[in-house]
Amino acid sequence: MPVVLVLSGAAVVEAGVAPATPDTIAASLSLPVRHPAEVLYEEAVAAAGRADWPAYLSALERALLAAPGHPALERRRAEALAQLGRADEAIAGLRGLAGWGVRFKLEDNELLAPLRTHTGWEGVVGAAAAARAPLGAMSPSFTVARDNYIPEGIAWDPKRDVFYVGSVARHMIVRVDRAGVTADFIATDEYGFLAGLGLAVDAARDRLWAVSTVPADDPGFAAGTAGRSAIHVFDLATGGLVWSWTSRADDLPGFNDVCVLPDGGAAVSASDRGQVVRFAADGGDPVALTAPGAVPAANGLCVAPDGAHLYVSAWGLGIMRVDLAGGGVETACVPGAAFTTVGVDGLYCVDGALVAVQNYGGLDRVARFTLRGDGLIEACATLVARQAMFDDPTTGAPAPDGFHFIANSHVTPFLERKDKTVVTGFGRSSVMRVGW
């Protein structure tokens, strides 16, 4: 589920593993780690406010070392260069940014006004518009046969060749076969399941991990439960509950997504706390993997090919890499990345590369990120983007025949409704498939 931040980025933040007991979780909320890119961004904004353009540029360039490929930082860097009279450099930076497909306006940006007479200006404006066109091809996988289901998480079960799809609005999970036949896996509110988010199949142990939570302003839940999160683990052979964990009212982590770890446990992103926690295979309280705030708006995550690291989306910042042994966090991108990893919702490791669903700033795409030998992301290829049917694409499920992803979840428009007890007008959601 997308989490909106003003800005974020990725840099090295060391954090030890510590028990995430209710007391330490609550205490840590008052002392979160400040991400370096966020601090530098604020420094840059302050410099712009006093028209100190050298300081503006310096702060932005240092922030880009912490958050390579961040669109907002790249655009602001061009502003600083324009104000300093370095028009050729500003145009070169904007030319690269224009091809990313991010939605941003150039024409009415007054800090870029000195560039309007540059011979390269019209080309940059045209390239930015052209990059907003639909791209790539996809094919239908299935449609969830439930009206106004509002799906967010999806997972594929290789043993039965079926998909599991959770619902934000219906607080349930359905099972869908290749023919599109849809049946309840768990009914609405069964086992205390909340608004359904991330799902992950543990094929080795024949289990389904499921995240659910209570949105802060959703009247569909009992008073006093706002912000609570839960983890449920189900036996796929029987459909029964293996175990579950639900947060207390004074312990509101904002769980979002989940991935299975090599030891049979799972890592869970806690968006509200900017943190990653882990659960043991047989349950118990969560244990902190990273410090609070180390992964701002933590979202999709997956185990790296080396089995020793996680890739985690800091939604408004970019993809980060987390050391599973020590909890250290670093940017996952090469310095000076000519692409962006911001806005990743679903994130998966497929054939030694990363496949991601991005829904930031008009990107609305499925992308494949190539990893170099040291595990850093070195290149990006867009598989499909900005299709007419897209309405808040969220997560996906790799399978032998391609990557299946929720193309029109309607999650954001649903969550923006003042009265979420009215679950109508969205129709049915489709899962599409793309090759990688």
Give the chain's largest Cα–Cα span: 69
Predicted confidence (pLDDT) at residue 26 exceeds the cutoff of 70: no
Q: Is residue 1 in some structural domain?
A: no
Residues 189 and 302 occupy one common structural domain: yes
Q: Are residues 189 and 273 in the same domain?
A: yes
- Residue 400 has what pLDDT? 96
Same domain? 211 vs 229: yes
Query: 326, 207, 348: which is closest to 264 by C-alpha?
Result: 207
- We report the CATH number of the domain holding residue 63 as 1.25.40
Please report the pLDDT score of residue 434 as a whole number. 98
Taking residues 401-425, report their average pLDDT. 92
Boundary-marking domain end, from 109, 130, 151: 130
Question: Mean pLDDT, to the nearest integer, of 121-148?
Answer: 96
Over the stretch 336-374, which tens digit does the pLDDT of each residue have?
Answer: 999 999 999 999 999 999 999 999 989 999 999 999 999
pLDDT tens digits, residue range 384-404? 999 999 999 999 999 999 999
Average pLDDT over residues 150-176: 97
Question: Is the same domain home to 197 and 265?
Answer: yes
> 189 versus 221: which is more confidently predicted?
189
More confident residue, 294 or 219: 294
Residue 424, classed as helix, strand or coil, is coil
Identify whether residues 142 and 225 lie together within a single domain. yes
Q: pLDDT tier at 219 (50, 70, 90 boundaries)?
A: low
Which of 80, 98, 130 finishes a domain? 130
Specify if 204 maps to a domain.
Answer: yes
Whether 103 and 154 map to the same domain: the answer is no
Cα–Cα distance, 346 to 343 (Å, whole number): 9
- Inform me whether the pLDDT recorded for 332 exceeds 80: yes
Domain of 115 in residue numbering reads as: 34-130
Residues 214-219: what's their mean pLDDT?
73
Assess if residue 19 is contained within a domain: no
| 350: amino acid identity, one letter | V
pLDDT band at 2 (very low <50, low <70, confident <90, very high): low
**167 and 296 both lie in a single domain:** yes
We report the CATH number of the domain holding residue 359 as 2.120.10.30
User: Hunting for tokens 């090295």 — which residue is that?
Assistant: 12
d(CA 255, CA 299): 9
100 and 71 Cβ atoms separated by less than 8 Å? yes
Is 11 a domain residue?
no
Whether residue 16 is predicted with pLDDT greater than 90 in this model: the reply is: no
Same domain for 221 and 95:
no
Where a domain ends, among 82, 107, 130?
A: 130
Same domain, 105 and 41: yes
Same domain, 324 and 364: yes
| Dihedral (CA of 45, 50, 51, 53) sign | negative
